[in-house]
Chain A
Amino acid sequence: MTSKRKSWQTTLLYVFIVVLCVIILYPYFVMFITALKDKKEMYEIGHILPEVWRWSNFSDIWTAAPVLKYLTNSMVIAGGATLLAILCGIPAAYALARMRFKGKGIFMGAVIMSQMFSPVVLLVGIYRMMVNINLNDTILGLILLNAAFNQAFAIWLLRGTFMGISPEMEQAAKIDGCGTVKALIKVLLPMAAPGIITTLIFVFINAWNEYTIALTLISTDVFKPITVGINVFYGFNFIQWQYLFATSLFATIPVVVLFLAIEKHLVAGLTSGGVKG
């Protein structure tokens, strides 16, 4: 390969990369500069950048709407769902990774199948059930639903993690007199910590970003998570774009940071836990 050809390829590569990054970051750029514009500038069409940089938008949103309440709700919903999903998921994943029993194949099949049950397709049934058990319009209802719809992923990721760890250490612990539960907690879980953290963060992000169930079930303002709450800036005729985007930034940045932290582990877990052959 001649060096001339190489430099030509490198140039092409960089052109592609730069164009791609510009396109991907464009919506975030728009979100950021619009969040900094003054209300009056919103419908003026002459400028890309704000004429006056309204940093105060970021402090105004907290009084313009109960944004702090929405964020707290999101935190409680996502945190609760994550905790519940992991507490139910660890024993199930452990049984699937370490034990032999009848019906294991059927259960694993059911777990995989449940990945396809998007709550949206079941919304009519979910709504009716939640009304019947008086959990519609409650944060507890959202915690239970988010935990359930993330069970499949949690079990799958955790099972992959457990299977990657040799059972010898636990067996040694059992010979030393530990019960199964104690061996799990003292020996396996610390070794599986990276996989568990990845699972935690992934379920948390899913629940944090969830929109459709919350939109359907929650009608009381003070119970809304942030994804539904931002709709207050989004009236039919009058949209307060600057507040909408300022709030959206607060809802987006933490999640992107978390995602960057687990990216490597997550993809490895997804593909190794999924189709292998």
Chain B
Amino acid sequence: MPSLKDLKNRINSVKSTRKITKAMQMVAAAKLRRAQEAAEAARPYAERMETVVGGLARAVKGSESAPKLLAGTGSDQRHLLVVMTAERGLCGGFNTSIVKLARQHAERLKGEGKTVHIMTVGRKGRDQLKRFQPDTLGDDHVDLSGVKRLGYEDALSIAQGILGRFDEGEFDVATIFYARFQSVISQEPTAQRIIPADFDDTGDEAERAGTLTDYEPSEESVLADLLPRAVATQIFTALLENAASEQGARMSAMDNATRNAGDMIDDLTLEYNRTRQAAITTELIEIISGAEAL
């Protein structure tokens, strides 16, 4: 049976934990709002980019001169998986669920006899993958821990790294893994193929985009110019979604933690009061029996 002092200490420590988790939850809520705003603000560019490149891609697809970024290298033997996770933990299953998806993907590809290479963005994913996939994890790692506000520059440098390696012929297919933000309680880990470019073949838009639009200088050169930008844009969108998801996940994880701490404090307080009452009763019995003995 713990003494009164022990109980008091434990209650105090849980109380300070609750204060911390509560503060973290509020910070995450504020950051989430900012991250959502950033994701929202980036949407017009990404949407236009996708319509334009999508329309062009459909027009050029199948033709001999289609750029490699669109048509692929003709093989799908070597895969690059870009796993984007957070730099920090304490955000529930956020990092784990992304890593899990990437791992399943890697195992499946390996089962098919393909070569898999993993590149990581964000420290947490790297730490986890080191344990599960030490052989496929290269030295490629992008550290975003110093980045306060995600900018297009960050995405651009990642994209340039990937594109450079593609040009060198290091891989055939690149897929990015990130969590798509749905709501504070739900973030969906997503795999998205970025090289070769993957566009939905929706009939309507294909027809619309195909109508009489002139391309200057030419369809091929516009496409060759736009595809690398499209890759960077996709990565940027993924980074922003990821940032919002991370804060959302942290917010709900910290909300849970705060609630659990509250429950624990209630239980401990009850136990504390009981123990105190028991001590008082024992003391009274001792006094009364002492008085009777006189």
Does B associate with A? no
Name A's B-contacting residues (CB within 8 A).
none
Name B's A-contacting residues (CB within 8 A).
none
